[in-house]
């Protein structure tokens, strides 16, 4: 959990970005273990789940863990303890209309776990996939709406016989709350190139259908292909524009795809006479026409070496692009590490990484980063890892977050109360506390009680309400009916796309 005594260790930074937004930068994991290789899933319910790999004292193998945090930063927020899933490596996480889904690799098996909307994981009923080859990577995409069909798509890249070079394939499965996970199918096989598959969606007759983007050798160099399923039949690959050699499209085995009504692809290409790379961006409009490719590498040094290109977008079609870049001299000596953040909106690329300009990023940034955007496009979250040094002593690698908070384009010093308010009295209380919630509009509302470890204690109310003032009460009992022990609790209201909390003290 995020403990008050650890807040002083967090790096808090509130800096205006060019896109009329601000980001709060804060440390997300803490010793005694480390945190690295973050991946993000951002829900429409104001939660962000960070999946990562951690090495904990007393455990011989790296563990996969998930930390749940509010998407909108708040000074009164309380984070639950991270959930640990046991030994694992390569991982992916997504959010769908049914909650979060986590998949990770343990030896020759891919394990899939699911949670509810509040991030409560079902640890007792994971699903195991055994692809049959050495697992090289995986990706997840979750359907954020109540569209027909399955709600989660999963791709698994594996190598059939790694002892004799690459013989790669892509396997696919999807999840439905009614039928569970489907059997593995194989839309792509016999590849002598790591496919680095990314699963997304395309338009179907009653909802989204899966679309798989992957790398293959074709033409004069590496090409990016796409395929999707039509009535349970996978179509032939479709070539993404670019000649792969003379132009800048020669993607390496790192790229990412996001789409809403449009499509964005970001990935790595070659840098002449150098083992380094360049980063490129392609956009496809609503009519299916691909726009000219852009080389968006930032020239800082003799060689600029980008890694981990990540892209995400919401329903507003604003693309958020995030990557790590290493600057080296002509002898390949590393000089500085940077984080680069861009937004792409209606053909305009904007540098939104002003928050990083004053941060002393010289060395120690992990090469894997991620970006997540709420499905409505209202907020973005960035994640990376970093190793700090205190008094000359290297510290354990930890994960940091940059969470956006929406502000007006021009400063406004007029005080504005939150649209949703929550009051509590008496406080401290025993045995009953009165809660007053004020809403500006009608709509669904949930009122819950949590303890300081983030565990759910009691559901006070769930339903649809009219605008105005609503009076509720918590009688100090837990969900099972027992009396809650004395201590500090948090009342949380979720309504009108907002989350409001209030600390409560149950006295003896």
Domains and CATH numbers, the chain: 41-361 (2.120.10.10), 421-506 (2.60.40.4070)
List, as own/partner pairs, every contact residues 478-484 make where C-beta atoms lie below 8 angstroms and the sequence separation is at least 24, other chains included: 483/431, 484/457, 484/458
Contacts of 181 (CB under 8 A, 6+ apart): 112, 127, 129, 173, 174, 175
**Percent helix, percent strand, percent coil in the chain, to nearest 5:** 0, 55, 45
Q: What single DSSP character describes residue 163?
A: B
Contacts of 500 (CB under 8 A, 6+ apart): 418, 420, 421, 422, 492, 493
User: Which of 14-18, 140-144, 290-294, 381-385 is predicted with the least confidence, judged by mean pLDDT?
Assistant: 14-18
| 464 phi, psi to nearest 5 deg | -105, 130
Flag whether pLDDT at 352 surpasses 70: yes
Flag whether pLDDT at 458 surpasses 90: yes
Helix (H) or strand (E) holding 60: none
Give dist(CA 216, CA 257) in Å, integer: 16
Flag whether pLDDT at 366 surpasses 60: yes
Q: Are 356 and 384 in contact (CB under 8 A)?
A: no
Residue 328 tokens, joined: 């080296």
Provide the pLDDT confidence category of residue 429 given band limits of 50, 70 and 90.
confident
pLDDT, position 23 = 87
Predicted model pTM: 0.75
What percentage of residues in the chain have a pLDDT greater than 70? 83
Flag whether pLDDT at 223 surpasses 70: no
Flag whether pLDDT at 417 surpasses 50: no
Q: Which of 72-86, 169-183, 323-337, 416-430 has the highest mean pLDDT?
A: 169-183
Provide the pLDDT confidence category of residue 15 given band limits of 50, 70 and 90.
very low
Residue 37 tokens, joined: 């290789």
Strands 198-203 and 185-191: unpaired
Flag whether pLDDT at 172 surpasses 60: yes
Flag whether pLDDT at 171 surpasses 50: yes
Residue 452 tokens, joined: 């300081």
**Which pLDDT tens digit goes with each residue over 236-258?**
888 777 544 334 344 457 889 99
User: Which of 362-371, 441-450, 494-503 is predicted with the least confidence, judged by mean pLDDT?
Assistant: 494-503
């Amino acid at each position: 959990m995020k403990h008050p005594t650890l807040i002083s260790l967090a790096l808090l930074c509130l800096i205006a970005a060019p896109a009329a937004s601000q980001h709060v930068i804060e440390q997300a994991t803490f010793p005694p273990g480390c945190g690295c290789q973050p991946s993000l899933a951002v829900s429409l319910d104001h939660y962000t789940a960070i999946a990562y790999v951690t090495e904990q004292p007393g455990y011989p193998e790296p563990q996969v863990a998930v930390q749940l945090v509010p998407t909108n930063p708040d000074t009164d927020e309380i984070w639950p303890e991270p959930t640990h899933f046991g030994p694992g490596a390569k991982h992916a996480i997504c959010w769908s209309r049914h909650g979060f889904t986590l998949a990770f690799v343990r030896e020759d098996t891919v394990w899939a776990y699911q949670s509810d909307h509040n991030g409560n994981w079902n640890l007792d009923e994971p699903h195991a996939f055994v692809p049959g080859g050495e697992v090289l990577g995986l990706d997840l995409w979750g359907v954020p709406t109540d569209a027909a069909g399955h709600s989660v798509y999963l791709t698994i890249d594996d190598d059939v016989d790694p002892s004799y070079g690459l013989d790669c394939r892509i396997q696919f499965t999807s999840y439905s709350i009614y039928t569970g996970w489907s059997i593995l199918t194989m839309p792509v096989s016999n590849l002598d190139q790591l496919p680095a598959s990314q699963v997304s969606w395309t338009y179907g007759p009653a909802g989204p259908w899966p679309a798989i983007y992957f790398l293959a050798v074709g033409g004069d160099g590496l090409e990016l292909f796409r395929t999707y399923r039509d009535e349970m039949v996978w179509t032939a690959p479709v070539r993404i524009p670019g000649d792969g050699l003379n132009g800048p499209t020669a993607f390496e085995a790192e790229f990412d795809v996001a789409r809403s009504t449009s499509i964005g692809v970001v990935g790595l290409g070659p840098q002449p006479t150098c083992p380094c790379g360049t980063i490129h961006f392609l956009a496809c409009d609503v009519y299916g026409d691909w726009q000219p490719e852009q080389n968006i590498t930032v020239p800082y040094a003799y060689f600029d070496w980008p890694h981990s290109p990540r892209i995400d977008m919401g329903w507003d079609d604003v693309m958020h692009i995030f990557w790590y870049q290493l600057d080296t001299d002509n002898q390949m000596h590393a000089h500085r590490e940077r984080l680069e953040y861009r937004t792409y909106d209606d053909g305009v690329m904007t540098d939104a990484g002003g928050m990083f300009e004053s941060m002393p990023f010289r060395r120690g940034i992990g090469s894997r980063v991620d970006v997540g955007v709420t499905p409505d496009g209202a907020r973005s979250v960035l994640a990376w890892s970093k190793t700090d040094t205190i008094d000359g002593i290297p510290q354990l690698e930890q994960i940091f977050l940059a969470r956006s908070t929406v502000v007006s384009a021009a400063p406004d010093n007029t005080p504005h109360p939150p649209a949703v308010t929550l009051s509590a009295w008496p406080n401290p209380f025993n045995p009953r506390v009165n809660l007053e919630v004020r809403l500006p509009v009608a709509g669904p509302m949930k009122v819950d009680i949590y303890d300081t470890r983030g565990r759910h204690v009691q559901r006070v109310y769930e339903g649809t309400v009219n605008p105005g003032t609503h009076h509720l009460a918590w009688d100090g009992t837990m969900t099972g009916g027992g009396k809650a022990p004395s201590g500090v609790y948090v009342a949380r209201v979720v309504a009108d796309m907002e989350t409001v909390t209030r600390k409560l003290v149950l006295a003896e």
